[in-house]
Amino acid sequence: MTETDFLDDYDPTAFERPSVTVDLVLLGLRQGSPTALLVKRQQNPFAGQWALPGGFVRIDEAVDDAAKRILHDKAGIQSAHLEQLYTFGSVKRDPRMRIISVAYLGLLAEDSFASALKGTPSLLAAGIGVPWTGEKGGPVEVQSLDGKPLFLAFDHAEILAMAILRLRGKLDYSDVGFAWLPENFTLRQLQDVHEAILGTSLNKPAFRRRMLDKGWIEGTGERETGASFRPAELYRFKCQH
Protein backbone atom coordinates (compact mmCIF):
# COMPACT_ATOMS: atom_id res chain seq x y z
CA MET A 1 0.00 0.00 0.00
CA THR A 2 1.33 3.42 -0.91
CA GLU A 3 1.18 6.34 1.44
CA THR A 4 -1.44 7.93 -0.80
CA ASP A 5 -3.60 4.81 -0.56
CA PHE A 6 -3.08 4.70 3.19
CA LEU A 7 -4.16 8.32 3.62
CA ASP A 8 -7.15 7.87 1.33
CA ASP A 9 -8.36 5.00 3.49
CA TYR A 10 -7.36 6.50 6.84
CA ASP A 11 -10.19 6.92 9.36
CA PRO A 12 -9.63 10.12 11.39
CA THR A 13 -12.25 8.96 13.90
CA ALA A 14 -10.19 5.90 14.82
CA PHE A 15 -8.76 7.75 17.81
CA GLU A 16 -10.48 10.18 20.13
CA ARG A 17 -9.23 13.72 19.61
CA PRO A 18 -8.92 16.21 22.48
CA SER A 19 -9.57 19.87 21.89
CA VAL A 20 -6.69 22.34 22.15
CA THR A 21 -6.74 25.79 23.69
CA VAL A 22 -4.24 28.59 24.17
CA ASP A 23 -3.86 30.50 27.45
CA LEU A 24 -1.79 33.67 27.70
CA VAL A 25 0.25 34.68 30.73
CA LEU A 26 0.70 38.41 30.15
CA LEU A 27 2.88 39.83 32.90
CA GLY A 28 3.75 43.38 33.82
CA LEU A 29 5.47 44.84 36.85
CA ARG A 30 3.41 46.85 39.34
CA GLN A 31 3.93 47.70 42.99
CA GLY A 32 7.22 45.80 42.90
CA SER A 33 5.79 42.41 41.95
CA PRO A 34 4.78 40.52 38.79
CA THR A 35 1.23 41.37 37.78
CA ALA A 36 -0.93 39.39 35.36
CA LEU A 37 -3.76 40.43 33.07
CA LEU A 38 -6.95 38.48 33.78
CA VAL A 39 -10.42 38.37 32.24
CA LYS A 40 -13.73 37.52 33.93
CA ARG A 41 -15.47 34.51 32.43
CA GLN A 42 -18.94 35.28 31.13
CA GLN A 43 -20.04 31.68 30.55
CA ASN A 44 -19.92 28.37 32.37
CA PRO A 45 -17.87 26.61 33.47
CA PHE A 46 -16.54 28.96 36.15
CA ALA A 47 -18.83 31.83 35.09
CA GLY A 48 -17.95 34.97 37.02
CA GLN A 49 -14.47 33.77 37.95
CA TRP A 50 -11.22 35.24 36.69
CA ALA A 51 -9.04 33.49 34.17
CA LEU A 52 -6.11 34.01 31.86
CA PRO A 53 -7.00 35.31 28.39
CA GLY A 54 -7.49 32.22 26.28
CA GLY A 55 -9.52 30.41 23.67
CA PHE A 56 -9.80 27.38 21.43
CA VAL A 57 -7.42 26.73 18.55
CA ARG A 58 -9.34 26.58 15.30
CA ILE A 59 -9.07 23.48 13.14
CA ASP A 60 -7.34 25.40 10.34
CA GLU A 61 -5.13 27.53 12.60
CA ALA A 62 -1.55 27.13 13.77
CA VAL A 63 -1.14 27.30 17.55
CA ASP A 64 1.14 30.35 17.33
CA ASP A 65 -1.46 32.09 15.16
CA ALA A 66 -4.14 31.30 17.71
CA ALA A 67 -2.00 32.91 20.42
CA LYS A 68 -1.64 36.08 18.34
CA ARG A 69 -5.39 36.18 17.65
CA ILE A 70 -6.27 35.77 21.32
CA LEU A 71 -3.71 38.41 22.27
CA HIS A 72 -5.58 40.85 20.05
CA ASP A 73 -9.16 39.72 20.69
CA LYS A 74 -9.03 39.12 24.45
CA ALA A 75 -6.32 41.56 25.60
CA GLY A 76 -6.57 44.25 22.94
CA ILE A 77 -2.84 44.07 22.27
CA GLN A 78 -1.76 44.28 18.65
CA SER A 79 1.57 42.55 19.05
CA ALA A 80 3.93 41.34 21.76
CA HIS A 81 6.74 38.83 22.05
CA LEU A 82 5.14 35.54 23.06
CA GLU A 83 6.97 32.31 23.78
CA GLN A 84 5.55 28.92 24.58
CA LEU A 85 5.66 28.34 28.31
CA TYR A 86 4.37 24.81 28.85
CA THR A 87 1.66 22.40 27.74
CA PHE A 88 -0.95 21.57 30.38
CA GLY A 89 -2.69 18.28 29.74
CA SER A 90 -4.13 16.94 32.98
CA VAL A 91 -7.10 14.73 32.08
CA LYS A 92 -9.52 16.56 34.38
CA ARG A 93 -8.22 20.11 34.00
CA ASP A 94 -11.46 21.16 32.23
CA PRO A 95 -14.87 19.83 33.34
CA ARG A 96 -16.36 20.05 29.83
CA MET A 97 -14.22 17.54 27.99
CA ARG A 98 -10.62 16.53 27.32
CA ILE A 99 -8.83 19.82 26.62
CA ILE A 100 -5.09 20.38 26.32
CA SER A 101 -3.84 23.93 26.75
CA VAL A 102 -0.67 25.41 25.32
CA ALA A 103 0.33 28.31 27.58
CA TYR A 104 2.28 31.28 26.26
CA LEU A 105 4.28 33.82 28.25
CA GLY A 106 4.48 37.48 27.31
CA LEU A 107 6.27 40.19 29.29
CA LEU A 108 4.71 43.61 28.81
CA ALA A 109 6.52 46.90 29.37
CA GLU A 110 4.73 49.40 31.60
CA ASP A 111 3.20 51.39 28.73
CA SER A 112 1.87 48.27 26.97
CA PHE A 113 0.43 46.90 30.21
CA ALA A 114 -1.29 50.19 31.05
CA SER A 115 -2.58 50.58 27.49
CA ALA A 116 -4.15 47.11 27.58
CA LEU A 117 -5.95 47.89 30.85
CA LYS A 118 -7.19 51.21 29.53
CA GLY A 119 -8.28 49.91 26.13
CA THR A 120 -9.95 46.71 27.36
CA PRO A 121 -12.22 47.40 30.38
CA SER A 122 -12.86 43.68 30.92
CA LEU A 123 -9.23 43.14 31.93
CA LEU A 124 -8.04 43.12 35.52
CA ALA A 125 -4.51 43.56 36.84
CA ALA A 126 -3.79 40.92 39.48
CA GLY A 127 -0.74 40.67 41.70
CA ILE A 128 1.04 37.34 42.08
CA GLY A 129 2.28 36.41 45.53
CA VAL A 130 4.95 33.70 45.56
CA PRO A 131 5.32 31.98 48.96
CA TRP A 132 8.28 29.81 47.90
CA THR A 133 11.90 30.76 47.41
CA GLY A 134 14.25 30.16 44.52
CA GLU A 135 13.17 27.55 41.98
CA LYS A 136 11.41 25.32 44.48
CA GLY A 137 8.05 25.76 42.76
CA GLY A 138 4.57 25.43 44.22
CA PRO A 139 1.26 27.29 44.39
CA VAL A 140 1.03 31.06 44.04
CA GLU A 141 -1.41 33.52 45.59
CA VAL A 142 -3.37 35.74 43.21
CA GLN A 143 -5.06 38.93 44.36
CA SER A 144 -6.44 42.19 43.06
CA LEU A 145 -4.23 45.23 43.53
CA ASP A 146 -6.37 46.25 46.53
CA GLY A 147 -5.50 42.97 48.25
CA LYS A 148 -8.65 40.93 47.56
CA PRO A 149 -7.89 37.21 47.00
CA LEU A 150 -8.80 35.90 43.56
CA PHE A 151 -9.62 32.28 42.77
CA LEU A 152 -8.84 31.44 39.17
CA ALA A 153 -10.75 29.15 36.84
CA PHE A 154 -9.42 25.81 35.62
CA ASP A 155 -5.71 25.29 36.42
CA HIS A 156 -4.77 28.88 35.66
CA ALA A 157 -3.15 29.46 39.06
CA GLU A 158 -0.89 26.51 38.24
CA ILE A 159 -0.07 28.10 34.88
CA LEU A 160 0.88 31.35 36.62
CA ALA A 161 3.10 29.42 39.02
CA MET A 162 4.88 27.79 36.09
CA ALA A 163 5.44 31.23 34.55
CA ILE A 164 7.15 32.49 37.71
CA LEU A 165 9.25 29.33 37.92
CA ARG A 166 10.31 29.75 34.29
CA LEU A 167 11.22 33.41 34.80
CA ARG A 168 13.37 32.61 37.82
CA GLY A 169 15.09 29.83 35.94
CA LYS A 170 15.91 32.04 32.95
CA LEU A 171 16.90 35.16 34.84
CA ASP A 172 20.57 34.35 35.24
CA TYR A 173 21.32 33.23 31.68
CA SER A 174 18.96 35.18 29.41
CA ASP A 175 17.87 38.75 28.74
CA VAL A 176 14.42 38.20 30.28
CA GLY A 177 15.17 40.71 33.05
CA PHE A 178 15.31 43.55 30.53
CA ALA A 179 11.81 43.09 29.10
CA TRP A 180 10.22 45.31 31.76
CA LEU A 181 12.77 48.12 31.41
CA PRO A 182 12.86 51.17 29.15
CA GLU A 183 15.59 51.39 26.53
CA ASN A 184 17.80 53.37 28.94
CA PHE A 185 17.64 52.44 32.60
CA THR A 186 19.47 52.80 35.89
CA LEU A 187 21.10 49.93 37.73
CA ARG A 188 18.58 50.50 40.50
CA GLN A 189 15.74 49.85 38.04
CA LEU A 190 17.45 46.70 36.82
CA GLN A 191 17.89 45.47 40.38
CA ASP A 192 14.22 46.22 41.13
CA VAL A 193 13.20 43.93 38.27
CA HIS A 194 15.43 41.09 39.48
CA GLU A 195 14.13 41.46 43.03
CA ALA A 196 10.53 41.41 41.77
CA ILE A 197 11.08 38.18 39.86
CA LEU A 198 13.10 36.50 42.60
CA GLY A 199 10.94 37.80 45.43
CA THR A 200 13.91 38.72 47.58
CA SER A 201 16.29 41.60 48.26
CA LEU A 202 19.73 41.56 46.65
CA ASN A 203 23.01 43.00 47.81
CA LYS A 204 23.45 46.23 45.86
CA PRO A 205 27.24 46.19 45.24
CA ALA A 206 27.31 42.46 44.45
CA PHE A 207 24.38 42.73 42.04
CA ARG A 208 25.85 45.67 40.16
CA ARG A 209 29.25 44.00 39.90
CA ARG A 210 27.66 40.82 38.56
CA MET A 211 25.63 42.68 35.92
CA LEU A 212 28.70 44.55 34.71
CA ASP A 213 30.87 41.42 34.74
CA LYS A 214 28.35 39.55 32.57
CA GLY A 215 28.82 42.11 29.82
CA TRP A 216 25.08 42.44 29.30
CA ILE A 217 24.91 46.19 29.80
CA GLU A 218 26.83 49.23 28.73
CA GLY A 219 26.80 52.84 29.86
CA THR A 220 25.08 55.44 27.68
CA GLY A 221 27.18 58.36 28.95
CA GLU A 222 23.95 59.98 30.13
CA ARG A 223 22.29 60.41 33.50
CA GLU A 224 18.66 60.28 34.58
CA THR A 225 16.70 63.51 34.70
CA GLY A 226 14.45 64.82 37.43
CA ALA A 227 16.34 63.18 40.27
CA SER A 228 16.29 64.89 43.67
CA PHE A 229 19.87 63.93 44.42
CA ARG A 230 22.85 63.07 42.25
CA PRO A 231 21.40 61.66 38.99
CA ALA A 232 22.20 58.00 38.41
CA GLU A 233 24.00 56.85 35.30
CA LEU A 234 21.85 55.37 32.54
CA TYR A 235 22.65 52.00 30.96
CA ARG A 236 21.27 50.02 28.04
CA PHE A 237 21.10 46.36 27.17
CA LYS A 238 24.06 45.26 25.11
CA CYS A 239 22.80 42.99 22.36
CA GLN A 240 24.46 39.59 22.43
CA HIS A 241 25.56 38.07 19.12
CA distance 219 to 74: 39
Assigned domain for 81 exists:
yes
Report pLDDT for 240.
60
Looking at 116, 144, 170, the residue that finishes a domain is: 170
- Spatial contact of 105 and 14, defined as CB atoms under 8 Å apart: no
Residues 71 and 190 occupy one common structural domain: no
Stretch 26-54: mean pLDDT, rounded?
Answer: 95
Predicted model pTM:
0.93
Report pLDDT for 123.
96
- Considering its fold, how many domains does the chain have in total? 2
Looking at 170, 193, 208, the residue that finishes a domain is: 170
Q: Render pLDDT for 139-154 as a digit per residue (tens, 0 to 9).
A: 999 999 888 999 999 9
Residues 156 and 87 occupy one common structural domain: yes
Stretch 175-194: mean pLDDT, rounded?
Answer: 95
Residues 145 and 94 occupy one common structural domain: yes
User: Considering only 149-163, 206-220, 225-239, which range has the smallest mean pLDDT?
Assistant: 225-239
125: left (phi over 0), alpha (psi -120 to 50) or beta: beta
Q: Render pLDDT for 70-90 as a digit per residue (tens, 0 to 9).
A: 999 999 999 999 999 999 999
Residue 222 confidence (pLDDT) above 80: yes
CA distance 77 to 104: 14
- Spatial contact of 50 and 41, defined as CB atoms under 8 Å apart: yes
Give the domain extent around 230: 176-237
Residues 223 and 114 occupy one common structural domain: no
Assigned domain for 12 exists:
no
